[in-house]
Amino acid sequence: MRAAARSVLYPPVMAPPDLQRLLTIVLETRSFIARPENDFRDSRWRDSKEATQEFDSFVSELRSGILPENLAAEFAPASSTQEVSINSGWALEFVNLVERYGKAINSMAPC
């Protein structure tokens, strides 16, 4: 079980479409992580249930307007999500999700 992550509130000037865009990416990533045929051997998760619980936590925080502190780590090189994607045959799809995640996060940065 993962330790409770500290979170930060989104800036009050953030537009709802930015939040929705990020939430959509996290939900899509969760759908890949939830695949029963995934191989979790090189990740910190034991199985799909443990991994989806973490992503469910991210979704819940995002829906509350909170940016989960550990979310960025799952879209970074050598993350557990990347390891599962490589071992399970959806690495190219993960690269696409990482690119979209980066664009979503960058659009939320203050100018």
Q: What is the DSSP annotation of 15-68? A: -HHHHHHHHHHHHHHHHHHT-TT---TTSS-SSHHHHHHHHHHHHHHHHTTEEE
pTM of the model: 0.83
- Tens digit of each residue's pLDDT (9 = 90 or more) over 37-96: 999 999 999 999 999 999 999 999 999 888 899 999 999 999 999 999 999 999 999 999
Residue pair 35/81 in contact (Cβ under 8 Å)? The answer is: no
